[in-house]
Chain A
Amino acid sequence: MRRLIFRRLLQTLPLLFFVSIACFVMVKAAPGDPVLSFVTPNMHAEDIERIRHNLGLDKPAYVQYFLWLKECLTGNLGYSLINHKPVLDQILERLPATAGLMGAAIGLAVLIAIPLGLLAGANRSKLVDKLVNLLAYIGVSIPLFWLAILLMYFFSIKLHWLPSMGMRTIGMDSAFDVLLHGILPCSVLTIGFLAVYVRYIRSSTISQLKEDYVQIQYAFGSAKRTILFRHVLKHVLLPVITLLGMSMGDLVAGAIVTETVFSWPGIGSLGMTAVRGMDYPVIMGITLFSSVMLILGNLLADILYSFADPRIKTTR
């Protein structure tokens, strides 16, 4: 077990290194000169050169990369070209809004997907299964931004039940207010995750039901429901762990569209603003941040998986 964790960690380090290079190259290749954002009209050419030198932009690219990496490792992701605030601070400031929204959506999706997937898998080709299948098809195929617009139209514009924009009503500072604002974006994201989870859980239920232990339980005369919720459930939870790990990478990128539609002040909309304003340090910071989350999420999923299922040893 310890060897497996160690090996996976060793595989992760070079991956992180290459991903950081990829992020650096992508932003380096971008058009536009970052020095220009510091230039004012009455500056001389030598002033501009001095700024370039102070920023380290006159050094060769690989030197710039290692300087940048060193700063990143000490927690300095650079400064926004637009408001000159530290990138990491901006990300951390926005993190609770995104993490709260995504956490709630993923949690809800798992809670709904487990019973639905189990029931569908246990009653293949029956009505429940067909309904669940239809739901999954719809969830996978519906553009989430369109779903967001539809929900906004019905619940905010037509019925006036829920707010359509932002996270707080101006001048109000209550948890209930935030909750109310969160319902629509959270529903959209939940439906997106739910469709994926339900399919996984359904198909792993189907394959679990063919296992010997299920047949033995049947032979012992256990009720179908007992088998399903006591024995099969345990095994079905395994792929859920993997799914949760993979969802960590979606934490930021997955929310971009939804956050933009609902003006939810999270990392996704921070990224959108940065992309629109070509604010490269912020874009680079967010890309790096979400890539690291994705890699760590996969790593965590692998480790948890091997704890939960000791049959998987160092084979991989």
Chain B
Amino acid sequence: MNRNKWSNVIRELLANKLGITAFLFLLVIASAAALAFLSSKDPNQINVLDRLKPPGAGHWFGTDDYGRDYLARALYGGRVSLMVGFVSMVFATSIGVAVGVISGYFGGLIDSLLMRLLEIVMSIPSFLILLLLSVYLKPSVGNIIVIISLLMWMNIARIIRAETMALKEREYVMYAKASGQSSFGIIIKHIIPGLMSVVIVSATNNIASAIMMESSLSFLGFGVQAPNATWGSMLNGAQGYLAQAPYLAIFPGVLIFLTVLSFNVLGDILRVGFEPKLGKR
């Protein structure tokens, strides 16, 4: 990846107010979640006397049905949601790049086999697999990450395969081949660097969908288990108190919405920045 591309991306980001806002929002939410331990509030501290207190000076986000501080829960929940999103993205992207590069570079039988495998996985509605697996693997953060990654690599693999097939025909790759470099060396030195922009764009969008999957799963009660919270499971709890305490449903929902929105916005800006010829979509 050359420097020109990066400066393009940074220029695109700075010129876009929405982009800066999204970036700053994610920065704030990530640091707040990471630094939540500095607060004196314990997210799991039950206080029956303080049940369902509306947002106010003592509790900025109010308290939930066990009298727990809702802001602290939202911050610790955000930590899990963001981590699941990020780590799943890393795994899914790694699988996707590996499958895509191998398929696109070697072609032939390996390509056919991998693509058939991909078609099979894509033919089963992923949310059903997600539910199914989360039932019989014990619902821990680690398992959720594994399940989500296994359901997300297919799109990246397709994109990377197409890109690899195009890169393979480029002259510098041909020269490298002619000069007797090993396939592995060519892939590492010449193919992967050429794929970086595509990888970064789809990785950004993938964090968004991983966070969405995790919160849907936790919302249905199959995700991270009590007493630990994620934004999705907080919404699950909030459902029962909709009439008395609607703020319980507002805060986690807004957080998921803005986080996913920010990643989607950034993904689109990165895409335009890396490929200016596509123009603003």
A binding-site residues for B, Cβ under 8 Å: 14-15, 18-19, 22-23, 26, 29-31, 124-125, 137-138, 140-143, 145-146, 149-150, 152-153, 157, 203, 206, 249-250, 252-254, 256-257, 260-261, 271-272, 275, 278, 283, 286-287, 290-291, 294-295
Contacts and interface: CB of A to CB of B under 8 A. Distances in A.
Nearest to A140: B264
B239 A149 contact: yes
B264 A275 contact: no
B242 A153 contact: yes
B130 to A, nearest CB: 9
A206 B279 CA distance: 11
**Smallest CB-CB A-B distances: 10 pairs:** A253-B125, A146-B253, A141-B261, A141-B260, A253-B127, A18-B120, A291-B124, A290-B125, A30-B136, A19-B123
A225 to B, nearest CB: 24
B135 A203 contact: no
A125 B235 contact: no
Given A30-B136, A125-B280, A141-B264, A291 B125 contact: yes
Interface of B: 116, 119-120, 123-129, 131-133, 135-136, 208, 212, 215-216, 219-220, 222, 232, 235, 238-239, 242-243, 246, 249, 252-253, 256-257, 260-261, 264-265, 280-281
A290 B249 contact: no
Contacts of B222: 275
A6 B266 CA distance: 43
Nearest to B217: A257
Contact of A275 (B135, B232, B265): B135
A271 B216 contact: no
Nearest to A164: B242
A146 B281 contact: no
A253 B128 contact: yes
Given A137-B265, A141-B208, A143-B253, A291 B131 contact: no
B12 to A, nearest CB: 15
Query: Is chain B's interface secondary structure helix, strand, loop, or mixed overall?
Result: helix
A142 B208 CA distance: 11
B131 A149 contact: no
Given A29-B136, A253-B127, 9 more contacts: A14-B116, A15-B116, A15-B123, A18-B116, A19-B123, A142-B260, A149-B249, A150-B253, A287-B129
B123 to A, nearest CB: 5
Query: Is chain A's interface secondary structure helix, strand, loop, or mixed overall?
Result: helix
Contacts of A253: 125-128
B264 A22 contact: no
Contacts of B252: 146
Contacts of B249: 146, 149-150, 153
27 contacts: A18-B120, A23-B124, A26-B129, A31-B136, A137-B261, A137-B264, A138-B261, A141-B260, A142-B257, A143-B212, A143-B216, A143-B235, A145-B216, A146-B257, A149-B242, A149-B249, A150-B253, A153-B246, A249-B125, A253-B128, A256-B128, A275-B132, A287-B129, A290-B124, A290-B125, A290-B128, A294-B125
Nearest to B133: A26
Given A15-B119, A31-B136, A141 B257 contact: yes
Contacts of A203: 281
A287 B239 CA distance: 28
B216 A19 contact: no
Contacts of B253: 143, 146, 149-150
A30, A31, A140, A278 — most chain B CB neighbours (10 Å): A140
Contacts of B280: 124-125
B127 to A, nearest CB: 5
Contacts of A257: 127, 216, 219-220
Contact of A286 (B128, B232, B261): B128
A19 B128 contact: no
Contacts of B120: 15, 18-19, 22
Nearest to B280: A125
Contacts of B123: 15, 19, 291, 294-295
Nearest to B216: A257
Contacts of B125: 249-250, 252-254, 287, 290-291, 294
Contacts of B119: 15
A244 B281 CA distance: 23
Nearest to A293: B125
Contacts of B129: 26, 287
B219 A145 contact: yes
B74 to A, nearest CB: 14
Contacts of A124: 280
Contacts of A272: 131, 220
A301 to B, nearest CB: 14
A231 B274 CA distance: 33
Contacts of A261: 239
A120 B19 CA distance: 21
Given A22-B120, A275-B135, A143 B128 contact: no
A256 B242 contact: no
